[in-house]
Chain A
Amino acid sequence: MTSKEKNTYLVGIFDDEDVLIPAVKKIRAKGVNIHEVYTPYPVHDLDVYLGYRRSRLSKAAFLFGATGTFLAILMQTYMLGFAWPMVIGGKDYVTYPDFVPVTFELTVLLAALGMVATFLISNNLGPGKQATMFDPRSTDDKFVMAIDLGANSKFTKEELESILTEYGVSEKPKEKEV
């Protein structure tokens, strides 16, 4: 996110996964746009209830891997076929079975590095990045739901507060600018 403009969020704190999940379902059913939910541990199927699209990271991984396969074959064919031909084990210069281990390793390496890089870039993460913390207790034992007030202009702040309270937040929702 490049814009320096700050958004105002309404932050609801939940104590329990079993309160959180019905709340997510019902709040979304009311038409409220939930910005994000932060949990101390991965909650099964929360992404489904939040309506997230499937991550495209695996597709990126496949493409990075395929690039690795292609580059590895290209590299070895060039090295052993053209740059420095060598007879190994009485075989031809370019023998593809010999290339399999290196091809495999480069496929894995490129897939792994590419995936990490894609993940960091697409999530706006990286060394020195200051994490957005709606409530630090989300790393301890609380479930934190952030609702972007700007993205929910059809509701007033008070309406959203009462919705959150109705579905079981454990303390009064507070506002936070990020």
Chain B
Amino acid sequence: MAAGHKISIADEKMQYEFTSSLKKKLMIAFGVGVALLILGMIFSAMGGGAEHGAAEHAAAAAEGHHGPEYHWTKRLWANLWLCCVYFTGISLAGVFFVSVNYVAWAGWSALIKRIPEAFGNFLPITGVLMFILFFVAGHDLFHWTHEGITDPNSEHFDRIIAGKAAYLNTPFFLARMVFYFAAWIGLFLFFRRLSAQEDAISDYNGYLKDPSVYNKRVYFSAVFLIVFAVTSSTSAWDWVMSIDTHWFSTMFGWYNFASWFVASLAVVTLTVIYLKEAGYLKAVNQHHLHDLGKFMFAFSIFWTYIWFSQFLLIYYAHIPEETYYFEPRLFGHYRGVFFLNIIINFAFPFLALMTKESKRTTILIKIAAFAILIGHYLDFYMMIMPGTVGDNAGFGLLEFGTLAMFVSAFIYTIANGLTKLPLIPKNDPFIKESLHFTQL
């Protein structure tokens, strides 16, 4: 739209208003989630496990000396942990997305920067939850936390885990977790402060000559990227890979990053579309949407590439200590989810977002984004459930209840975060480029 030389943000609603009706809806969704969870807990406690009796023993036999036998609470902890990991990743990847755009001096994204930036607000919540969960349910989730497992004289001694004890031990695990959240939340709060500082500048033309806040932001975005590069991998090992303690994959960090990032991009896209439909972000047009669609398309393929590279090497080499990870997933209880995972995370976005028109069609982009979000939930489901609850996993009240709680809490926190700063960074040096952004 080269003719539109007069685009400006003058008639934009800068301040996001978290309406009480949305608040109410989210409260209700959260309440429904809690109710489903409690119902699920009652049903499970009343003997939902009985029907799984046979499977439980088979699983226990197959896993040999794997800790205490199955109790329904394990499924609850695994679910909570799964949502914590998933939503931590989405929040973190939002901050990562903004940082990448700063370091790359990206112009097109200036209009929508504040949205992924606000995702970081959810980090403290999942952080606290994960600490509590680790203390409450560490033994249920992480086999390596068990007593005596690294002690050669104990009957529970496990040589492989003992070999990993230098890294996988409770004090170091907790120290790492403190470091992750401290670094992430610290940098996130710093970024928000820089954004507020930039908004406070009144002399835009003077600021363009010396964009000191912007430069500082670029510098610390680079710092964040370095921190993120290391911590996204190590946190994936700690929180997800160490559940299957005996197994390891050198691609796991990338794999989790890809999953987190593409899910986060889907949330960014959905939030942008939602805000636009609610009357905010008027300047966001099909060109911006096209770029977000390209991001989702590209990183769906990237995820597939990493996922398949991990799978193919293990499949091809056929070494028992590696293939046992895929055994329950490919041939066991999780077979359906395994194939659904590939279809919904690769085949569907690949075909649905392939053409230029589809990336500019709001409804298609919405459907693809929802599919990606569901798909990557399933992806994490498949990483976490087999190692914790084994064949007792399923999709029931516990799963839907937890998910409803997390989704509503996440939206509530993000919406609340968006009210704290204007929706559009009016003093961003690239704001005009973003307003006039076109692509073929």
Contacts and interface: CB of A to CB of B under 8 A. Distances in A.
Interface string B409-440: 00000000000000000000000000000101
Interface in B330-373: 354-356
A62 B312 CA distance: 26
Nearest to B315: A97
B311 A97 contact: yes
A20 to B, nearest CB: 11
Interface in A88-108: 88-91, 97-98, 100-101
Contacts of B1: 45
A interface SS class: helix
A124 interface: no
A89 B312 contact: no
B315 A45 contact: no
A44 B318 contact: no
A100 B440 contact: no
Interface residues of A, number: 14
A45 B312 contact: no
B316 A45 contact: no
B308 interface: yes
Given A45-B1, A58-B355, A89 B438 contact: no
Nearest to B5: A18
Nearest to B317: A89
B317 A100 contact: no
Given A89-B317, A89-B318, A44 B438 contact: yes
Interface string B308-328: 100110011110000000000
A21 interface: yes
A21 B311 contact: no
Interface string B62-92: 0000000000000000000000000000000
Interface string B3-20: 100000000000000000
B166 interface: no
B53 to A, nearest CB: 35
Contacts of A45: 1-2, 438, 440
Contacts of B317: 89
Contacts of A62: 354
A100 B3 CA distance: 46
Contacts of A44: 2, 438, 440
A100 B310 CA distance: 13
A58 B355 CA distance: 8
A62 B440 CA distance: 19
Nearest to A95: B315
B355 A100 contact: no
A14 B1 CA distance: 21
Nearest to A47: B440
B438 to A, nearest CB: 6
B4 to A, nearest CB: 11
Question: Which of the listed residues B2, B308, B317 has the most CB atoms from chain A within 10 Å of its own CB?
Answer: B2
Contacts of A47: 440
Interface of A: 21, 44-45, 47, 58, 62, 88-91, 97-98, 100-101
11 contacts: A21-B2, A21-B3, A44-B2, A44-B438, A45-B2, A47-B440, A58-B355, A89-B317, A90-B318, A97-B312, A98-B316
CB-based closest 6 A-B pairs: A89-B318, A45-B2, A44-B2, A97-B315, A89-B316, A44-B438
